[in-house]
Amino acid sequence: MLRQFRNYLVFLMAILAIWFLLGKMKIIPSFSDIFKSKAVQIDETPILIKNIKELAELTTMVSIDEVVVDSITADPTTLAIKNITGLSLNPFSSGYDQLVLVCKGRVIAGTDLLALSPENIYRKKDSVSLGLPPARILEIVINPSDVETFIEKGDWTTEAFEKVKIRAREKMHARALSEDILGKANARARFLMDNFLRQSGFTKVNVYTKY
């Protein structure tokens, strides 16, 4: 009886060992893979061009940043129960919805050269003077792949989720301005245009920012 039991045990351990080894070698799915929820895959869909716009933006500075933003809202069900019964606890809810995002992004600054008018360019023989428009924030990029959801409690609609991302964008904007990104972008634009004009054959070059 004991011997039979030992044989069963050895047989079972051998089966488990073989399963484990084959799973490690990815020949058969491992135990955890069988009950693993598959990530949702989107279908291949075409892109559609909505608009084409001509630009002449001299991009001179970028601030690469990472911020954490959070948002907490009271759960409406909890509030309703509290209003009706006076009880502060809804057993089906933690009482609040919470979202914490870690967002990476880029604040891009530069000069819009389309705003450069002919009267801002003065040329005489080998001398040139150029008045550049002041630098501005051209765009702030936080794409879906730049966002990590650290905590998500409760229901968050797409609009509510995106509003939290907009707060991250505002935070990055403020941080970039506090680092004087526009002053540095102006200086960089003057340097680049000075170089370009010298390479274009001018020996006396004056590039300034026209505020």
Partner 1 sequence: MAVDNVLQLKELSELATVEYTITKIIKASDDQTWYKIGDRKILMSCQAVVKAGIDLSKLKAEDITINEDEISVVLPKATIFSLNIRPEDIRTEYQEVGILRSDFTAAERNQMMSQGETQIRSSIESTGILQTAESNASLFIGQFLRQLGYKKVDIRFGNNSPKTNLN
Hey, which residues between 79 and 138 contact partner 1 (CB under 8 A)? 99, 102, 106, 108, 110, 113, 116, 118, 121, 123, 128, 138
Q: What are phi and psi of 122, to 5 degrees?
A: -125, 130
In whole angstroms, how close is the CB of 133 to partner 1 at the nearest point?
A: 14
Considering the rule CB under 8 A, would residue 33 count as an interface residue with partner 1? no
Q: Among 27, 47, 92, 211, which residue interacts with partner 1 (rule: CB under 8 A)? A: 47
Q: Residue 5: left if φ>0, alpha if ψ -120 to 50, beta else—which one?
A: alpha
Q: Is the dihedral of CA 70, 74, 75, 78 positive or negative?
A: positive
Considering the rule CB under 8 A, would residue 75 count as an interface residue with partner 1? no
Q: Where are the beta strands (DSSP E) in 142-211?
A: 147-153, 204-209
- What CA–CA distance (Å, rounded) separates 78 from 180? 46
Considering the rule CB under 8 A, would residue 32 count as an interface residue with partner 1? no
Q: Which is nearer to partner 1, 7 or 195 (CB)?
A: 195
Considering the rule CB under 8 A, would residue 57 count as an interface residue with partner 1? yes
Tell me the residue length of the chain.
211
Q: Which is nearer to partner 1, 17 or 114 (CB)?
A: 114
Q: Encoding tokens for residue 209?
A: 């920012």
* Number of shown-chain residues binding partner 1 (CB under 8 A): 82
Considering the rule CB under 8 A, would residue 173 count as an interface residue with partner 1? no
Q: Among 1, 3, 5, 35, which residue interacts with partner 1 (rule: CB under 8 A)? A: 35
Q: What are phi and psi of 152, to 5 degrees?
A: -140, 110
Q: Among 50, 84, 92, 211, which residue interacts with partner 1 (rule: CB under 8 A)? A: 50
Q: What are phi and psi of 95, to 5 degrees?
A: 100, -15
Considering the rule CB under 8 A, would residue 62 count as an interface residue with partner 1? yes
Considering the rule CB under 8 A, would residue 182 count as an interface residue with partner 1? no
Q: Encoding tokens for residue 162?
A: 């995106």
Considering the rule CB under 8 A, would residue 26 count as an interface residue with partner 1? no
Q: Which is nearer to partner 1, 133 or 188 (CB)?
A: 188
- What CA–CA distance (Å, rounded) separates 11 from 209? 83
